[in-house]
Amino acid sequence: YGKAACTLDHPVARYLSETELDIFATMLEKGINAPLTSSCGRLFDAVAAILNVRHRVSYDGQAAIELEALAETSDSDEILPFEITLNADGPWQLDFTQLFPVLLSAMQAGIPPAALARRFHATIAQASIEVCVSIARDSGLERIVLSGGVFQNRLLTEMLYTGLTKSGLQVFTHRLTPPNDGCIALGQAAIAGWQTRRNN
Q: What is the CATH number of the domain that holds 99?
A: 3.30.420.40
If asked whether residues 23 and 117 sit together in one domain, one would say no
Compute the distance between CA of residue 160 and CA of residue 156 in angstroms, rounded to an integer.
Answer: 6
Alpha helices in the chain (DSSP H): 11-15, 18-30, 40-50, 62-71, 99-108, 113-139, 154-166, 181-199
User: Can you list the residues of the chain whose pLDDT is less than 50?
Assistant: none
The pLDDT score that the predictor gives to residue 76 is 92
- 31 with 58, same domain: the answer is no
Per-residue pLDDT, 6 = 62
Domain range enclosing 22: 1-35
- The partner residues of 170 in beta bridges, in order of sequence, read 143
Total Cβ atoms within 10 A of residue 86: 13
- Within 8 A by CB and 6+ apart from 73, the residues are 114
Domain count, the chain: 2
- The answer to whether 80 and 102 have CB atoms below 8 angstroms apart is yes
Same domain, 8 and 105: no
Same domain, 56 and 99: yes
Q: Are residues 72 and 150 in the same domain?
A: yes
Distance CA 191, CA 185 (A): 10
Residue 6 CB coordination number (10 Å): 21
In tens, the pLDDT along 129-150 reads 999 999 999 899 999 999 989 9
CA atoms within 13 A on the CB side of 178: 11
Q: Are residues 65 and 15 in the same domain?
A: no
